[in-house]
Amino acid sequence: MSSSRLSVSATEHVDEKFYLAEDLQDPHESTLHRGLKARQMSMIALGGTIGTGLIMSSGTALVRGGPLGLCLGFLFVGLICYLTLAALGEMTAYLPHKRGFAGYATRFVDPAVGFALGWIYLIKYLIAPASNINAAGIVMQYWTLSVPIEVWAVVIMNLLGIQFFGELEFWMSGLKVVSLMGLILLGIIVDLGGNPKHDRIGFRYWRQPNGPMGSYLVHQVHNEQFAVFLGFWSTLTTALFAYIGSELVAVTAGEAQNPRKTIPRAIKSTFVRVFVFYIGCVFAISLIVPSTSTQLLVANSSHAGAAASPFVVGVTLVGIKGLNHVINAMILLFTISAANSDLYIASRTLYGLAIERKAPHIFTKVNKRGVPWVSLLVVSLFNCLTFLNVSTSSATVFAYGVNLLSAFGAITWMTIAYSHIRFMQALKAQGISRDSLPYKGSCQPLGSWFVLVSTGIILLFKGFDTFLPFTPALFITSYLPIPLFFIFWLGYKLRYRTRVIPSSKVDLITGKREIDEEEERFILREKAREGKMSKWQKLADVL
C-alpha cells in the first residue's frame, strides 16, 4: 500500500451514510495506556484463558462422550478456535485500536452489528467472573462442606487483582502453564504404571465397559448409535466453553506495546496452546479416569464437594495420597486467574463501547495508570451473581454458566469470522494486497467460512438435551443469547438507520496513521534503550 494512500485524511473516506464519527476515531483524552509488554502478551495468550472449562467441565464431557469422543470434540473445536484467532490476528495487527473487536464489526460490517457484538460480549463477561468464582467455591468444598459456598465467594472476590492485570496475569499464566504441563506428565506417568499400585492402565478405559464412546441419553432416545452421536455432540459444547476467552489477546491490543509485532507472536502461540495443552490435557484425562466414574462434577449425580476435576479423580483411583490436595490447589489458582481475566475483559469491553458512544460516556474515565476504573467498578458488582448458589446447588449454577457462556462465545466467534470475511472483501475491492498486512492468518478465506458455518451449527443444536426431558431453565440459558443479539442489532439499526457497508466504502485508513507513528516512536525508544543495556540485561529481556 502506498504511503500517499495512507496519508489521505479520514474525512475523505468516512461516508456519513455508513459511519458516525465516533465509530472510527480513538479518543484523544485520557485513555488506556499501552503498558502490556511483549512477554506479558505472549504469556497471557498462552495461559490466560486456561480455566474451569478445561480443568473441571472436561469431566462432564468424558462421561457423556467417552474418552475418544472427548478428544475428538476438543480437537474439532480447537481447530475452530485457532482459525478464529488467525482471522482476528489479521484485523488486530492491521488496526490495533482500543475499542475491542466489536470495533472491527462496526468498521467492516455494520455499526449495528458492532453494537450488538459489543453488548453481547459485555454481558458474557459480566457473567463469566461469577461463574469462575462459583467454580472456585466448588473447589474449596472439596476440603470442607461446613463453610457455605457464598463465604468462599466473598473471600475469592477480594483476591482478584485486576488493577495490576498485566504483571499479575503474566505470573499466574506462567504458573498455569507449568502446572498444566505437570498434570499432563502426571497423567501419562500414572497411565504407564508409575503409581502406588504399579498398575499399567494403558488404554483400558478406552475399551468397554468404559469407552471408547459414551452413550448419552440412551434411555431417552432408545437407540444406542444415536446416543453415541449425542454423546460426541455434547462434548462440542463443553469444548467451546473451554476455549472461549482465547480472543483475550485481541482485547489487550489497545494496551499492547508495539502491537504489530506482539499480537502476531501471541496468536501464533495459540497453536501450541491448543494442540499441546488442551488436547494433551484431555488425552491424559481419558487415560487415567473411567467415563463411568461417579465422582466427576455435573456428571453421574456427583454431589457437592465431589472431586470435581478429573485429575483429582485419577490420582485418587490409583491411591496417590496427598497429591489430590496439591492438584486442587492448582485448580483453585486456575479459577481465580480466569476470573481475573474475565474482569479485565469486561471492563475493557465496556470502555470500548463507551468511547464509541454505545454506552454512557462516564465509562470512558480512566485513572492515572490507564485503568478504566468506573467500568471496572460496575462490572465487579456483577460478581454478586455468584450468590445464586445460595438457593440453587453450585453444580446447577455452574451448568447454567456453561450454557450461557458457550452460547455467547459461539456468537462472538461467528461475528469475528464474518467481520474478517468482510475485511478481506474490502481489501480486495480497494486493491490492497493481503501480502502487505503485518500478519497473514492461516487457511484464509476458507478458515473464516469454516468457523462461521461450523460454529453456527454447534450453536443451533447445542441445547438438544434440554428437550430430553424439556427443562425450561436449561433451555433458556442455552438459547437466550441468540434473541438478545438480534434485539441489540435490530434496536440500533432502527434507531440510527444503519446499513451494511459496501466493500468499496469500508474505511481501512482512519486511525492507521496514528498507530503507524506510535509504532515508529516505540521502535526508536527501544533502540535507544537497548543501546544503554548490558549484555546480561539484553539476555534477561529476551528470556
Confidence of residue 392 (pLDDT cuts 50, 70, 90): low
How many other CB atoms sit within 10 Å of the CB of residue 84? 29
Is 426 part of a structural domain of the chain? Answer: yes
Query: All 3 cell numbers of residue 11?
Result: 474525512
Strand partners, 36: 256
Q: Is the peptide bond before 209 cis (omega within 30 degrees of 0)?
A: yes
Calpha distance 210→189 (Å, rounded): 21
Confidence of residue 1 (pLDDT cuts 50, 70, 90): very low
Instruction: Flag whether pLDDT at 299 surpasses 50.
Output: no
Calpha distance 358→348 (Å, rounded): 14
Is 534 part of a structural domain of the chain? Answer: no
Query: All 3 cell numbers of residue 473?
Result: 431453565
Calpha distance 370→363 (Å, rounded): 13
Is 298 part of a structural domain of the chain? Answer: yes
More confident position, 486 or 525 = 486
Confidence of residue 542 (pLDDT cuts 50, 70, 90): low
DSSP for 443-511, please give it.
TTTHHHHHHHHHHHHHHHHTTGGGBTTB-HHHHHHHHTHHHHHHHHHHHHHHHH---PPPGGG----TT
Rounded to the nearest 10 degrees, what angle do helices 259-272 and 38-47 cross at? 30
Calpha distance 416→87 (Å, rounded): 8
Is 4 part of a structural domain of the chain? Answer: no
Q: Which of 274, 279, 278, 282 is nearest to 83 (CA)?
A: 274
Is 208 part of a structural domain of the chain? Answer: yes
Calpha distance 480→287 (Å, rounded): 36
Is 273 part of a structural domain of the chain? Answer: yes
Range of the domain at 460: 38-510
Confidence of residue 465 (pLDDT cuts 50, 70, 90): confident
- Within its chain, how far is the Cα of 494 from the centroid? 31
Which residue bears the cell 454506552? 359
Q: Is the peptide bond before 445 cis (omega within 30 degrees of 0)?
A: yes
Confidence of residue 510 (pLDDT cuts 50, 70, 90): confident
How many domains does the chain fold into? 1
Could you tell me if 246 and 85 are in contact, meaning their C-beta atoms sit under 8 angstroms apart?
yes
Confidence of residue 102 (pLDDT cuts 50, 70, 90): confident
Q: Which of 168, 123, 132 is nearest to 394 (CA)?
A: 132
Instruction: Flag whether pLDDT at 77 surpasses 70.
Output: yes
Mean pLDDT, all residues of the chain: 79
Calpha distance 388→472 (Å, rounded): 17
Q: Is 218 exposed, middle or buried (0-12, 13-18, 19+ CB in 10 A)?
A: middle
Confidence of residue 361 (pLDDT cuts 50, 70, 90): confident
Give the domain CATH number at 403.
Answer: 1.20.1740.10
Sign of the Cα pseudo-torsion (126, 129, 132, 138, in order) = negative
Confidence of residue 158 (pLDDT cuts 50, 70, 90): very low
Q: pLDDT tens-digit profile of 200-226?
A: 999 999 998 887 998 898 888 889 999
Confidence of residue 7 (pLDDT cuts 50, 70, 90): very low
Is 16 part of a structural domain of the chain? Answer: no
Supply the pTM of this predicted model.
Answer: 0.84
Instruction: Flag whether pLDDT at 27 surpasses 60.
Output: no
- Tell me, what amino acid is at 22? E
Calpha distance 264→45 (Å, rounded): 11
Which residue bears the cell 502406588? 196
Q: Give the Å distances, CA to CA, from 65 to 59, 133, 222.
A: 10, 27, 17
Host H or E run for residue 44: helix 38-47
Residue 455: phi, psi to the nearest 5?
A: -70, -35
Calpha distance 239→473 (Å, rounded): 21
Q: Give the Å distances, CA to CA, from 23 to 153, 245, 507.
A: 38, 24, 10
Q: What is the pLDDT of residue 231?
A: 92
State the Cα angle at 294 between 291 and 300, rounded to 5°: 85
Q: What is the pLDDT of residue 139?
A: 77
Is 20 part of a structural domain of the chain? Answer: no
